[in-house]
Homo-oligomer: A and B are copies of this chain.
Amino acid sequence: MLKEIAGGVCAPKGFKANGIHCGIRKNKIKKDLALIVSDVRCNAACVYTTNLVKGAPILVTQQHVADGKAQAVIVNSGNANTCNADGVEIAQKMCALVEEYTGISAEDIVIASTGVIGQPLSVEPIAKGMKALVEGLGEHSEAAAEAIMTTDTVKKEIAVSFELDGKECRIGAVCKGVGMICPNMATMLMFITTDAAISSEMLQRAISADVKGSLNMLSVDRDTSTNDTLAILASGLAGNREITAPDANYRTFCRALRTVTTEMCRKLAADGEGATKLIECSVTGAASLKTARLCAKSVINSNLVKAAMFGADANWGRVLCALGYSGAKIDPDKVGVVFHSAAGDVEVCRGGRGVEFSEVLAKKVLSEQEIDILVSLGNGRYHATAWGCDLTYDYVKINGDYRT
């Protein structure tokens, strides 16, 4: 019943979007300003980075959604508006500009910025571009997805439909993020729209729970960003009875939400800075969910595992090593490891010891673009999945000179 549909954040009823190049990025034509608006005031919920150094836009958004309501999202790329003396003032000015051109109260606007930290953000190009941005609003989820990209190489959007009370509901999303990606209670930037009717309280509960198994299990480089923001706006226009309790409809909504966030995690990981491969680590047989998650994340975070995956080298000892320092209580003598991809399976470790395997097959399996590292702990019934990517020359290149 759950199916993927087109339209991104504009798929749910009531949402329009747009993205333009306004000039925050010098000498470039890449879009740098995005706007998502709803026809009606929405229930809204957000989660943010846990980094103590927080972008100014986050401080402003926190105030604006304190009442659980929002109607628009304004986002710029090319500058994180973080560690700037006038950051909050600039973020407020951006919201005031949206109010001026759309009539939506500044207090109902979610704002986010992404790019270099610690460089003053001029409001000038944003002021100049706002008219065109608002006039061009339409079914342009793709333009919005493009405008929030930094070193991303592909646009990231998705939409799904599902049923509540016999009414078709939709959830759409756009996101960005390639480096400084190790979300903790939030991701880089992700904006989700839905026309399902759901109270602000249940919406917050749904995404706060969701990120623990989705975005918090994603890591490109273990650097938790200063600007991570996930915002969800629910227009309620699908016509279902508003979800106000953790009932069956809530669970249906959460499953659809998880489909969206998980798919976005895979897109984010696959497009990690410099990545040539999506690495998925699935841990089963854990004594607790915490253990499963710690282990999966630890494997995904290991520079040595990541470099081995880049080189298609079945160096499974590094997986064991990462499990061992994960902080989780595991029994090394029960650990099994299998590398899996479209090219097949290769078992490399059983009971904590190496098993003989074909290096030729291993090379083939690890030369695919999507690699699963399947870890069994032999200790219980809990499982978890984490997403990441390989560590490549291009990651070093991109980050050796990001500012210029």
Q: Please tell me if the beta carbons of B396 and A224 are within 8 angstroms of each other in the complex.
A: no
The segment out of A4-12, A76-84, A155-163 that lies at the interface is A76-84
A209 to chain B minimum Cβ distance, whole angstroms, is 22
* Contact among B120, B223, B393 with A304 in the assembled complex (CB-CB below 8 Å): B223
A179 contacts which chain B residues (CB < 8 A)? 304
Chain B hits for A320, CB < 8 A: 53, 82-83, 117-118, 226
Whether A40 sits at the interface, judged by CB under 8 Å, is no
With A118-B349, A320-B117, A354-B119 as given contacts, are A396 and B400 in contact (CB-CB < 8 Å)?
no
The reply to whether the CB of A324 lies closer than 8 angstroms to some CB of chain B is yes
A226 to B320, CA, bound (A): 9
Q: How many residues belonging to A are interface residues under a CB distance threshold of 8 Å? A: 66
Residues of chain A in range 269-323 having any CB-CB distance to chain B below 8 Å: 301-304, 307-308, 310-311, 313, 315-318, 320-323
Q: Which of A179, A223, A313, A321 has the most CB of B within 10 A?
A: A321
Cβ of A28 < 8 Å from any Cβ of B?
Answer: no
Q: Does A244 make an interface contact (CB < 8 A)?
A: no
A352 at the interface (CB under 8 A from B): yes
Cβ–Cβ < 8 Å partners of A398 in chain B = 307
Determine whether A240 belongs to the interface, using a CB cutoff of 8 Å to chain B: no
CB atoms of B354 and A51 under 8 A apart:
no
What are the 10 tightest A-B residue pairs by CB atom distance, in nearest-first order? A117-B317, A311-B400, A53-B324, A307-B399, A51-B324, A224-B325, A118-B354, A118-B317, A311-B401, A52-B324
Q: Which residues of A contact B (CB under 8 A)?
A: 49-54, 80, 82-85, 116-120, 179-180, 182, 184, 221-226, 301-304, 307-308, 310-311, 313, 315-318, 320-325, 329-330, 332, 348-349, 352-354, 391-393, 395-404
- Given pairs A116-B315, A117-B318, A222-B303, 16 additional interface contacts (CB within 8 A): A53-B352, A83-B317, A83-B332, A84-B353, A117-B315, A117-B321, A118-B316, A119-B354, A223-B302, A223-B304, A224-B325, A307-B400, A311-B400, A315-B403, A391-B396, A393-B393
